[in-house]
């Protein structure tokens, strides 16, 4: 019988739990003890009380709360609990140091305000840099609580926390005993895991700004198989929750209820979904990555294959008319393909990895080759057809006389011939 004498006329509720053990009764060949619990703070739920008692009475899974009566004058509650134990057993447990510590932890968490640090959400605003390859981040109006995502150290330069990225699967567990240790959690999950668990590196407790444990934790798994095996073996019931964000329905989150060490204490587990950078749309990855043989990879980098794929018959006739060797075009395509990363793995990536998901793999390089030929046709100049650049030098009513710049054409022709003999000698 733990009581607290309070002579305050304002009837301030006591912070200690007042438990009275009634006489032992005989029910269905079992000894049943009734507990009358008074002075319970009204902000504590029945689940909180059930979890406290379930920790110390492991043989009784569901502890029934017979009645709960609110007392408006003291802002407290009275409860009646039945336990299938003798009076002496119940009294010994209630007087134990462990029970007092467990109750004190529950009372502290629910009787004070917890403060958590927060920061403004960083969102991706697009790409920057001379080649538009660097992500540009800016601060948004939304605030994120630091424990919203698991990470050992908050990384201001990264939107993806270290703890989440270093594990194949991460659980969020709620309603844990406030006296639980990381070693107990490791021993609890190790029988269901093929890998040896890291006691400190794969468990992160959620604490407030003062470092007080909040009864929740993040638990990481090195393989998806270990996570799935553990959840299937431990789950007693499963429920689904639908989340809606900005008017769009998301996938249902499954909440798994597990029994902590067969004590009857119920804990909720939710597997965290993939983390998506703020401000960046979720793009699905469709299909498996293309598996190409060595011959196919070399063929994609072959200059003759590029010409056959991206140069039409009309383009070849044009090159012949302006006396441009097709080998020059081959070298230009090959240099662009090898010297620009956007035409390599980024252009050949699967959906969700490329800059432009509306294009098929390889469309970026094909678009470059077609634009190269179109630009060459517009800028090419010969004495017979000097092109748009030469025509723009004259007014519409002026006579376009090629003789004024014929010497320039002849000089340029001789220069190109010397370069061609040097770099493309006839075999």
pLDDT for residue 273 is more than 90: no
Q: What is the pLDDT of residue 288?
A: 57
Q: What is the pLDDT of residue 187?
A: 92
pLDDT for residue 272 is more than 50: yes
**Helical segments of 214-325, H only:** 224-234, 294-300, 303-310, 313-321
For the ranges 227-241, 245-259, 367-381, 413-427, the lowest mean pLDDT is seen at 245-259
Q: Is 221 helix (H, G, I), strand (E, B) or coil?
A: strand
Q: Which residue in this structure is represented by tokens 């970026």?
A: 364
- Mean pLDDT value of segment 247-268: 68
Q: What is the pLDDT of residue 242?
A: 52
Q: What is the pLDDT of residue 191?
A: 92
273 CB-near residues (< 8 Å, 6+ apart): 251, 253
Half-sphere exposure of 204 (CA within 13 A, CB side): 24
Pairing mode, if any, of strands 134-145 and 253-260?
unpaired
Ranges assigned E (strand) in 104-212 = 118-128, 134-145, 169-174, 203-207
Pairing mode, if any, of strands 253-260 and 265-271?
antiparallel
Phi, psi of 212 (to 5 degrees): -85, 130
% of the chain residues with pLDDT over 90 = 4
- Mean pLDDT value of segment 84-91: 73
Per-position b or e across 361-387, b if 16+ CB within 10 A of its CB: eeebbbebbeebbeebeeebbeeeebe
Q: Give the Cα separation of 392 and 396 in Å (integer).
A: 9
Q: What is the pLDDT of residue 189?
A: 92
| Helix-helix angle 363-379:326-339, to 10 degrees | 140
109 CB-near residues (< 8 Å, 6+ apart): 178, 212, 214, 215
Q: What is the pLDDT of residue 66?
A: 41
Q: Which two tokens stand for residue 391?
A: 């025509």
Contact (Cβ atoms closer than 8 angstroms) between residue 236 and residue 257: yes
- Mean pLDDT value of segment 314-328: 87
pLDDT for residue 365 is more than 70: yes
Tell me: the pLDDT tens digits for 27-65? Answer: 555 566 666 666 666 566 666 777 777 777 665 444 444
CB atoms within 10 A of CB 103: 20
Q: What is the pLDDT of residue 3?
A: 38
Residue 190 binned pLDDT confidence (cut-offs 50, 70, 90): very high
Q: Which residue in this structure is represented by tokens 């469709």?
A: 286
CB atoms within 10 A of CB 225: 15
Element (H, E) at 185: helix 182-189
pLDDT for residue 99 is more than 60: yes
Q: Give the Cα separation of 114 and 178 in Å (integer).
A: 15
74 CB-near residues (< 8 Å, 6+ apart): 11, 13, 39
Residues linked to residue 256 through DSSP beta bridges, in sequence order: 238, 269
Q: Is 62 left (phi over 0), alpha (psi -120 to 50) or beta?
A: beta
% of the chain residues with pLDDT over 70 = 60
Domains and CATH numbers, the chain: 18-110 (3.30.70), 118-271 (3.30.70.330), 294-423 (no CATH)
Question: CA quadruple 9, 10, 11, 15: dihedral positive or negative?
Answer: negative
């Amino acid at each position: 019988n733990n009581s607290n004498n309070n002579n305050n006329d304002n009837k301030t509720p006591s912070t200690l739990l007042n438990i009275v053990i009634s006489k032992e009764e005989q029910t269905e060949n079992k000894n049943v003890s009734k507990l009358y619990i008074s002075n319970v703070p009204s902000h504590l739920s029945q689940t909180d009380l059930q979890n406290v008692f379930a920790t110390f009475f492991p043989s009784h899974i569901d502890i029934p709360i017979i009645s709960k009566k609110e007392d408006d004058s003291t802002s407290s509650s009275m409860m009646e609990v039945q336990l299938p134990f003798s009076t002496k057993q119940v009294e010994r447990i209630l007087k134990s140091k462990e029970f007092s510590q467990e109750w004190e932890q529950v009372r502290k968490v629910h009787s004070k305000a917890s403060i958590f640090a927060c920061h403004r959400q960083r969102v991706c605003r697009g790409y920057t840099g001379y080649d538009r390859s660097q992500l540009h981040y800016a601060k948004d109006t939304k605030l994120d609580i630091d424990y919203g995502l698991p990470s050992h150290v908050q990384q201001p330069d990264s939107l993806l926390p270290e703890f989440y990225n270093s594990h194949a699967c991460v659980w969020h567990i709620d309603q844990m005993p406030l006296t639980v240790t990381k070693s107990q959690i490791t021993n609890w999950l190790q029988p269901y895991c093929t890998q040896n668990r890291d006691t400190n590196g794969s468990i992160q407790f959620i604490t407030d700004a003062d470092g007080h444990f909040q009864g929740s934790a993040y638990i990481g798994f090195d393989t998806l198989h270990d996570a799935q095996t553990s959840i299937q073996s431990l789950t007693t019931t499963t429920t689904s929750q639908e989340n809606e964000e900005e008017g769009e329905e998301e996938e249902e989150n499954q909440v798994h209820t597990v029994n902590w060490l067969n004590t009857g204490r119920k804990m909720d587990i939710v597997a965290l979904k993939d983390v998506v950078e703020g401000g960046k749309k979720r793009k699905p990855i469709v299909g498996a990555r293309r598996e190409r043989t060595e011959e196919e990879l070399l063929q994609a980098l072959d200059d003759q294959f590029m010409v056959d794929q991206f140069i039409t018959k009309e383009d070849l006739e044009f090159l012949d008319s302006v006396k441009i060797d097709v080998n020059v075009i081959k070298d230009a395509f090959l240099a662009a393909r090898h010297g620009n990363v956007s035409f390599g793995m980024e252009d050949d990536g699967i959906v969700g990895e490329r800059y432009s998901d509306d294009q098929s793999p390889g469309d970026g390089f094909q678009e470059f080759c077609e634009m190269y030929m179109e630009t060459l046709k517009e800028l090419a100049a010969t004495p017979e057809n000097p092109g748009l650049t030469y025509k723009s030098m004259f007014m519409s009513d002026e006579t376009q006389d090629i003789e004024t710049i014929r010497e320039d054409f002849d000089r340029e022709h001789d220069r190109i011939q010397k370069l061609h003999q040097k770099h493309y000698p006839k075999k």
